[in-house]
Structure 1
Amino acid sequence: MPHADAPAYPVGLRLAGKRVVVIGGGQVAQRRLPALVSAGADVVLVSPSATASVEAMVTAGELRWERRKYRPGDLADAWYALVASTDPAANAAASAEAEERRVWCVRSDDADAATAWTPATGRSDGVTVAVLTGHDPRRSAAVRDAVVAGLRDGTLGAPHHRARAAGVALVGGGPGDPDLITVRGRRLLAEADVVVADRLGPRDLLDELGPHVEVIDAAKIPYGRAMAQEAINAALVEHAKAGKAVVRLKGGDPYVFGRGMEEAEALAREGIPVTVVPGISSAISVPAAAGVPVTHRGVAHEFTVVSGHVAPDDPRSLVDWAALAKLRGTLVLLMAVERIGSIAAALVAEGRPADTPVAVVQEGTTAAQRRVDATLGDVGRRVAEEGVRPPAVIVIGDVVAVGGAVADAARAAGTSGPGTSLGTGTDTGTVPGTGPGGVARG
């Protein structure tokens, strides 16, 4: 047995294709098994029972399960063992067998008797952070979390020193609150040489970029509106071909009315590698931030997201408004503020009741968030009276009336804020949000 005060020797085990035996199918196994499976290990679970999550991994074919208690010989040909059953005698026997067979063994019930310890582990951009602090696992986890968080958000500098392939990442920035961008999106921003930013992206994140990063405002690219997308594509191609790591920062999700596929196709034609990082769509997140669930049991079993950038009678429209009017679920309209009057009239004319509740959420998840409540019959007038401006998300359906009690409780508890601000409307029909700035998609 190792000396109690001797430090552990850190090493990274490459377990792909190697036999790994796990004794016990409880909570410890449930936490440890995913990493072993991800490492490509040939995992054998020995346990008379298992948690539902572990059993689901077995059903999916990710590991084999021998439904019985441990017995001598189970660790034959194993490279690594995790002993985590609720039977102390079985744990001791398995640990002794591991010692005899020279198999590195982790014990969840007795770290001092183990020949290996499991570090607090985290991963970011191909880097694995493993922290050991002896007998203080909470400290290990805290150090791990701090290091991984720093790597992910760029506050901990870890630049690539080997050649890095140039390319473009189409990053969905989320609805506006800078905290709602994905971890991967934030990391790619921290590594970028050039950022081509939408006006609808999370603007606050640009202030975190290093002084060497060139920021191009896509809203100010020349040649006029008709040529704007071609100019954006050209800028992405130009900088990527110059060997730069380019991030195209977009609001919401790149492929939800974001023209992301047009940009990806333009880059592909030039042979430029493209990475697409999905973002939280404002179609779901902004209603949620305003206290509106787009689906709710017994109220709406479907929701439909529609672009309202052209009116229903416009020959360019690809939307079947008559069919939408017949649906019983939720309609979520993006880019529809300027045409909500004609859209509402078309839906009512095709059979949607005029008293259908409507919520209009302007600049959702940001400091400027506000909500205007109306009905399908008067939403055009209400939007004009309240001076609602884009970007805004419009929700049509009975779900708008759901959640009032939740919103009241949130306000009473003082928990509303960016990403969580709730409201059902005041007497004037508006509910301001709170939090840092930014602009929501819509």
Structure 2
Amino acid sequence: MQLGLDYTGKRVLVVGGAHASRRVLARYLATGATVYHLVAPGAVAGAGVPAARAVPGVLAPTFPRSIGAWNALIAAVDLVAVVETSPHAEAVIAAACATNRTWLTREAPASTAPIGSVTLVGGGPGLEKLLTVGAMAALKAADIVYYDRLGPTDRLGDWAPGAEHVDVGKAPGHHAIPQRDAERMMVASALAGLTVVRLKGGDPFVFGRGGEEVLACRAAGVPVTVISGVTSAIAVPAAAGIPVTHREVSHLFTVISGHAPISDAELTHLVGLDGTIVVLMGIGTLQQLVAGLARLGMRSDIPVAIVERGFAHDQRTTIGRLDTIGALATHAGVRSPAVVVIGEVVALASHGDDAAADLLRDAAELAS
């Protein structure tokens, strides 16, 4: 199916079993077409194949029993999409389409395996443009999508038409659905034969607990794959004009989780690296972090930036120094989600450096 075409008002006949055709039906309905579904004899779910959910809004014509009936049915539609049928029926359909000059396309059937699959999809930092081609393909094929609050979800109905959408997101201090329960839900859906997408913000393997979800699937014998996403650790600083590395300024960067306080031993190593430090989920422990870095030898004038709500219309950046950022953050009422950047590269966001100016222009174009 070519999603770039306008099917509004077009009459589309989908031929195939209910389970195999479920996503094709949903996609054509989502384009505004009038959809008819013809279940061919023999194109039905076999033993062990899960039953498909009914797709509301689909019409069911009577199965043609003669060449004349096939011609009459196909003459009444604009497009025929064959998902699965017998070789004889497909030949009859092709001939009728040729006679009536009706478009004919062939669509891939949904999996009819007794066990479905899980795909962990990195949705990036929230901007639709940063979704990968692989992420879009996985969403298009999904029967059910488990998503969280930091992933891009504004147009989830368009990207995964016909799929069930389940919010399993967490907010700071509030886990409506515990992680283990979310894992059990994903596994149960896959064991029921569904194609499952777990849509996460950023990258599934960067503080996204993707590793735990992969292990849960493997333990249950469920096939699982991972589609990497653009991590906010790099993209959000860039949206504020801050490169995490820069020639002759910083040749390394370290990404850490600020979810819990960092030990003095870890802070000592960070100070010794003399590179860029990027902190995710670090607003709650910001005061302890900057105090610890200063106590263990980091210069007090090291630039620090806090980028809130990266890529959102109300993105905000607060810039200070190691010895002032705590007070500035309190005064500004800084809140999560935010990315903290510590290092000399922060200065590039406010200086007249050509590279920084280019980054700012690119970030502005991407966010527009």
TM over 0.5: yes
Structure 2 portions without partners, runs of 5+ = 1-104
Tell whether the 8 Å contact from 1:365 to 1:417 is kept in structure 2 after alignment: no
Tell whether the 8 Å contact from 2:168 to 2:176 is kept in structure 1 after alignment: no
Tell whether the 8 Å contact from 2:169 to 2:176 is kept in structure 1 after alignment: no
Where 2:364 maps in the other structure, the secondary structure is coil
Residue 343 (structure 1) aligned with residue 293 (structure 2): no
What per-residue deviation string (whole Å, max 9, x for no partner) do you get for residues 11-64 of structure 1?
A: xxxxxxxxxxxxxxxxxxxxxxxxxxxxxxxxxxxxxxxxxxxxxxxxxxxxxx
Aligned to 1:204: 154
The 1-side partners of 2:143 and 2:270 are apart by: 44
Moved over 6 A (4+): none
The Cα shift of 1:357 comes to 0.1
Tell whether the 8 Å contact from 1:362 to 1:389 is kept in structure 2 after alignment: yes
The 2-side partners of 1:393 and 1:243 are apart by: 39
Please, which of 272, 288, 291 is the counterpart of residue 241 of structure 2?
A: 291
Aligned length: 257
Instruction: Give the direction of change, closer, same or farther, for the CA distance of 1:160–1:346 in structure 2 (3 Å limit).
Output: same
Identity level (%): 43
Instruction: Give the direction of change, closer, same or farther, for the CA distance of 1:374–1:260 in structure 2 (3 Å limit).
Output: same
The Cα shift of 1:212 comes to 2.3
The 1-side partners of 2:365 and 2:199 are apart by: 20
Aligned to 1:183: 133
User: What is the one-letter code of the residue matched to 2:129?
Assistant: D
Residue 312 (structure 1) aligned with residue 259 (structure 2): no
Counting only pairs closer than 5 Å after superposition, residues 367-382 of structure 1 correspond to structure 2 as: 367-382=313-328
Structure 1 portions without partners, runs of 5+ = 1-156, 420-433, 436-442
The 2-side partners of 1:395 and 1:213 are apart by: 38
User: What is the one-letter code of the residue matched to 1:354?
Assistant: S
Where 1:380 maps in the other structure, the secondary structure is helix
The 2-side partners of 1:328 and 1:158 are apart by: 58
Aligned to 2:338: 392
Aligned to 2:109: 161
The Cα shift of 1:211 comes to 5.0
The 2-side partners of 1:158 and 1:189 are apart by: 20
Instruction: Give the direction of change, closer, same or farther, for the CA distance of 1:415–1:326 in structure 2 (3 Å limit).
Output: closer
User: What is the one-letter code of the residue matched to 1:161?
Assistant: P
The 1-side partners of 2:145 and 2:291 are apart by: 41
Q: TM-score, normalised by structure 1?
A: 0.54
Counting only pairs closer than 5 Å after superposition, residues 43-442 of structure 1 correspond to structure 2 as: 159-161=107-109, 163-165=111-113, 166-219=116-169, 225=175, 228-312=178-262, 320-403=266-349, 404-405=351-352, 406=354, 416-417=363-364, 419=366, 435=368
Aligned to 2:7: none
The 1-side partners of 2:260 and 2:110 are apart by: 48
The Cα shift of 1:204 comes to 2.1
The Cα shift of 1:305 comes to 0.5
User: What is the one-letter code of the residue matched to 1:339?
Assistant: T
User: What is the one-letter code of the residue matched to 1:360?
Assistant: I
The 1-side partners of 2:179 and 2:106 are apart by: 34
Tell whether the 8 Å contact from 2:144 to 2:164 is kept in structure 1 after alignment: yes
Tell whether the 8 Å contact from 1:177 to 1:418 is kept in structure 2 after alignment: no
Aligned to 2:42: none
Instruction: Give the direction of change, closer, same or farther, for the CA distance of 1:369–1:159 in structure 2 (3 Å limit).
Output: farther
Instruction: Give the direction of change, closer, same or farther, for the CA distance of 1:220–1:286 in structure 2 (3 Å limit).
Output: closer
Instruction: Give the direction of change, closer, same or farther, for the CA distance of 1:193–1:177 in structure 2 (3 Å limit).
Output: same
The Cα shift of 1:210 comes to 4.9
RMSD: 2.4
Aligned to 1:38: none
Tell whether the 8 Å contact from 1:181 to 1:279 is kept in structure 2 after alignment: yes
The 1-side partners of 2:261 and 2:229 are apart by: 27
Instruction: Give the direction of change, closer, same or farther, for the CA distance of 1:282–1:409 in structure 2 (3 Å limit).
Output: closer
User: What is the one-letter code of the residue matched to 1:186?
Assistant: M
What per-residue deviation string (whole Å, max 9, x for no partner) do you get for residues 352-372 of structure 1?
A: 011100111111122221111
Aligned to 1:108: none
Instruction: Give the direction of change, closer, same or farther, for the CA distance of 1:169–1:159 in structure 2 (3 Å limit).
Output: farther
What per-residue deviation string (whole Å, max 9, x for no partner) do you get for residues 282-320 of structure 1?
A: 11111111100111111111100011111136xxx9x71
What per-residue deviation string (whole Å, max 9, x for no partner) do you get for residues 181-200 of structure 1?
A: 11101111111110000111
The 1-side partners of 2:325 and 2:238 are apart by: 20
Tell whether the 8 Å contact from 2:290 to 2:323 is kept in structure 1 after alignment: yes
Instruction: Give the direction of change, closer, same or farther, for the CA distance of 1:159–1:371 in structure 2 (3 Å limit).
Output: farther
The 2-side partners of 1:201 and 1:219 are apart by: 9
The 1-side partners of 2:275 and 2:112 are apart by: 48
What per-residue deviation string (whole Å, max 9, x for no partner) do you get for residues 63-122 of structure 1?
A: xxxxxxxxxxxxxxxxxxxxxxxxxxxxxxxxxxxxxxxxxxxxxxxxxxxxxxxxxxxx
User: What is the one-letter code of the residue matched to 2:162?
Assistant: H
